[in-house]
Amino acid sequence: MKQQAPATTGPVGIAIVFVLALNLRPAVTSLGAALEDISATPGMTAAVGAVLVAIPLWASGLGGWVTPWLRSRLGIHKAVTWALLMLGASLVVRVQGGPSVLLAGTALACLAIAVVGTVLPVLVQSASSRTRASYTFALGSGSTIGALATPTLVGAVNWEFALASWALLALVTVWLWQGAARSSMVFKASSMSPTRLFRCAVSWNLTVYFGLVSTLTFLVMGWLPGILRDAGVSASTAGFCLALCMAMGLPMMWLVPFLVQRGRNQSLVVILLASSNAIGVVGLMVAPASVPWLWSVGLGIGMGGLAMALCSISERSGGSPDLATALSGMVQGLGYIIAGIGALACGLIHSSTGGWLAPLAMCLAVLCGQVWCGIHAGRPYIVRATPLPVVPRKVRPLPIVPLGEPAVQAIQQVVQPVIPQPRKPILPLIPTEQATEAT
């Protein structure tokens, strides 16, 4: 049996953080990359495809919400271990049946991903800026690798193999997680409920900011090729623009954590990232086919807002692992639900209008909300949890037992101690002979 590495008091290592974060996106982006081939299988309908695209957001929200409960029961180490095992198993099982099995397996995979994604801000809370940057950089790398490598695997074998092959990454991560030196905090099985942060304005601003950033991120990954192709851009160019967009997001996912940790106020970072996104959205509205690579670059730079939101979780927790777990559960749990609502609303607007102008205008409204919430969430405030109410306990009266006379006297002496009387002066004794002579 392999001997476990001893626990250390420092933060989790940069390599294990990178590998853990690398598992958070390929299961989702590979699904989108192979969606055209999946739609050709028997039993797949347009409704099933729509649910298949939306279910990762809802499952991620649910998984983020229950993670603090899992940590309080199992600790971070066991919770991450079981989540990775469930991720690997669900990625293999979901391609073994029809649409219902695919939907159920995708939901389980996203639940497992949400558990790992929610505890990662806790693991990097006391880490260096380089470790935090490796976390967000791996997140962007997983998105890019999953989107680019999956079509190649589909062409070489089939879409079932392409989707199931990402289970190997999860199994390798389990092995590394078991053998790597771990911080002693990962064994701590205690946590607070995210509901204790509901009265804090900073936690709500950060939650809404994360939800709006995720909304635009998922819309870009899902809609950018379709918008460009409807504008007359070739399929190869549209695919290249999507890859360029995600590639431009990688340096921002590395740079933003340094800016968050070194600056007291991140308002300027929020404005710059949203402005870059606005340039890309306005370009797609006005002239999508003129310089599509420029609009893709603008959208890719703006994806750094996701790193901004994730790193702010650690900054706003004030060094408390319990508070970081609760805040991460609230931000990612409710944030992904907000993103799911936003993506659904944009999809309905597109289907009702038949064009992209109205959905892109809605994306501009989402960016305005990002700036407002991001500026308030970027201020150097620490999230405060609502104290637990003190519930008075009922005190049962002690039974009255009759006591005997000796016990009563002993209690009275304790309660009312007897004060000794002053002693009489002791006179020196007179020897007998001296006393006889005196007489």
pLDDT, one tens digit per residue, over 271-305 is 999 999 999 999 999 999 889 999 999 999 998 89
- pLDDT of amino acid 6: 46
- CA 320/CA 316 separation, integer angstroms: 10
- Taking residues 337-364, report their average pLDDT: 86
Residue 1 scores a pLDDT above 50: no
Tell which wins on pLDDT, 77 or 276. 276
SS3 category, 345: helix
Helix (H) or strand (E) holding 101: helix 99-123
- pLDDT of amino acid 430: 55
Smallest CA-to-CA distance from 30 within 132, 214, 170 is with: 170
Helix (H) or strand (E) holding 6: none
- CA 15/CA 124 separation, integer angstroms: 12
Residue 439 scores a pLDDT above 50: no
- Model-level pTM greater than 0.85? no
Q: Side chain identity at 14, as an amino acid letter?
A: I
Residue 435 scores a pLDDT above 70: no
- pLDDT of amino acid 83: 93
Tell which wins on pLDDT, 8 or 387. 387
Smallest CA-to-CA distance from 42 within 99, 120, 121, 100 is with: 99
- pLDDT of amino acid 401: 54
pLDDT, one tens digit per residue, over 288-347 is 988 999 999 999 999 889 889 988 888 888 778 788 888 888 998 899 889 888 877 887
Tell which wins on pLDDT, 303 or 427. 303
